[in-house]
Amino acid sequence: MPKHALTAFALTLSVVVPTAALAEWKPNRPVEFVAAAGPGGGTDTFARVVQSALSKNELLTTPIIVSNKSGGSGAETFIYAKSNKGDPYKLYFGTQDAYVLPLANKLSYSQKDLTPVAAMVFDPFILWVNPKTSGIEDVKGFIAKAKENPGQLKLGGAKAKEADETLMTLIEHKTGVDLTYIPYKSGSEAAIQVAGGHITANVNNPSESVEQWKAGVQKPLCVFESERLADKTVIADGMSWNDVPTCVEAGIDVKTFAQPRTIWAAADIPPEALAYYTELFTKAAGTPEFKGYQERGAQIPRLLTGDAFKDFIKQHEATYAEIYKANGWLRAEQ
């Protein structure tokens, strides 16, 4: 097989001598990063930041091509992974969507078609309002207003029956209020609708609303984490991310609802390749480019690979399945 010959050839060329015995695999042709989101979306930015971190620090010397397959809320990406079984030159970038999408929709791929590689970072969720148009200043005010007008308070988010809407149903369960969810194409779009006073509140990642916060048209009420965010740099109104209370402190009993930024490979890739990528992305997480991305997004630095990542997936999927079941969103079993 000429493939082996080429691999050997590439190995002799390689400057960095891999230390671990397993890491003797090295890509000898362009690697494709498939993002399960459209250009400009959160997952797309994630994939491109990793791309820039790898190529700027020369961690990966073969060309990296980023492509987008956002169809079907990203399902297109994972269906594509299924059709490229065993191909170690394609990696798939997503969130929890990789294992949550098949819960609600009848799709032709399942988790068996994917090899988990890494969860590189977690995006926290924050509850936002426009303090000027809504008159809401804190979580207590939010809950009071929602109780006054059951079903009248509009909360926006990205897409339907995904992270944002799931989180809203959690808020409803824990506080006993009745909200109306309005799906938009993206989290930033929902943020602008809140800023413009068209809807009352939204839930999204910090980076999607931080500029509106600085402009005074949005205010963070609480963060859906068990601990406050670490960053103490003042952003607006004399507040830093660290000054935003956790939702448990503020009165919504939702402990942690972070969104992992995940990387996958197709099923049945060589174990050497998996080991190589695991090491590669561990290194990438330490680069200044990636650290800068984490800081800007007020993300939670938490790298998961190997068995730790697999355990996390199992547990995270079960959490989602439970909420989906309660909401009646689980797809009918065939």
Partner 1 sequence: MGNFGQLMDGFAVALTAHHVMIMAVGVLLGLVVGVLPGLGAPNGVSLLLPLTFTMDPISAIILLTSMYWGALFGGSTTSILFNIPGEPSSVATTFDGYPLARQGQAVRALTLAFTSAGIGALTGVIVITLLSSWVANFAMRFGAAEYFAVYFMAFASFIGMAGGSPFKTLVSMMLGFAAATVGIDTISGESRLTFEIDELIGGISFLIAVIGLFGLGELLLTMEEGLKFEGVKAKLDMRTILRTVAEVPRYWVTLVRSALIGCWMGITPGGPTAASFMSYALGRRFSRRGRNFGKGEPEGIVAPETADHSAGSCALLPMLALGIPGSATAAVMMGGLMIWGLSPGPMLFSTRPDFVWGLIASMYMGNLIAVVLVLATVPLFAYILRAPFTVVGPMITIVCVIGAYTVANHVFDIWLALAFGIVGYVFKKLDYPLAPFVLAMVLGDKAEDAFRQAMLTSDGSPAIFFSNALVSTMMGLGILLLCLPLITVLFKGGLFGRPAAGDAEAHGRSA
Partner 2 sequence: MDISRNTMEIATACATALVGGIVCYGASLNGISWNESGPQPGYFPFYIGALIIFGSAATILQTVLRRASTSDVFIDGERLRTIVAFFLPIVVMVAISAWLGLYIGMALYTFYAMRMAAGFRTATSLLTAAIVVAVNFVIFEKIFMVPLLKGPILEYFGIY
What residues line the site for partner 2 (CB under 8 A)?
2-3, 6, 29-30, 32, 63, 65, 89, 180
CB of residue 321 to partner 1, shortest distance in Å: 16
Rg of the chain, C-alpha, whole Å: 21
CB of residue 33 to partner 1, shortest distance in Å: 10
> Which structure tokens are listed for 160?
């339907």
The CA-based angle 193-194-197, given to 5 degrees, is: 90
| Single-letter residue type at 220 | P
Residues 6+ apart with CB under 8 A from 268: 85, 86, 115
Question: Do residues 181 and 171 lie in contact, with contact meaning Cβ atoms separated by under 8 Å?
Answer: no
Closer residue to partner 2 (CB): 32 or 272: 32
What part of residues 169-208 is at the interface with partner 1 (CB under 8 A)? Answer: 180-185, 188-189, 191-193, 195-196, 198-199, 207
Question: Do residues 165 and 157 lie in contact, with contact meaning Cβ atoms separated by under 8 Å?
Answer: yes
CB of residue 117 to partner 2, shortest distance in Å: 21
Rounded (to 5) percent helix, strand, coil in the chain: 45, 20, 35
The burial of 265, by beta-carbon neighbours within 10 Å (0-12 exposed, 13-18 middle, 19 or more buried), is given as buried
CB of residue 65 to partner 2, shortest distance in Å: 5
Q: Which of partner 1, partner 2, none binds 29 (CB below 5-8 Å, type-dependent)?
A: partner 2
Pairing verdict, β 64-68 and 31-35: parallel
Question: Can residue 152 be called a binding residue for partner 1 (CB under 8 A)?
Answer: yes
Question: Can residue 162 be called a binding residue for partner 1 (CB under 8 A)?
Answer: yes
Find the part of the chain contacting partner 1 (CB under 8 A) among 42-50, 110-118, 220-228, 257-265: 42-50
Instruction: Please give the residue ranges that form the binding site for partner 1 (CB under 8 A).
Output: 38-41, 44-45, 48-49, 51-52, 55-56, 64, 66-73, 75-76, 79, 104-108, 151-152, 154, 159-162, 180-185, 188-189, 191-193, 195-196, 198-199, 207, 210-212, 214-215, 217, 292-293, 296
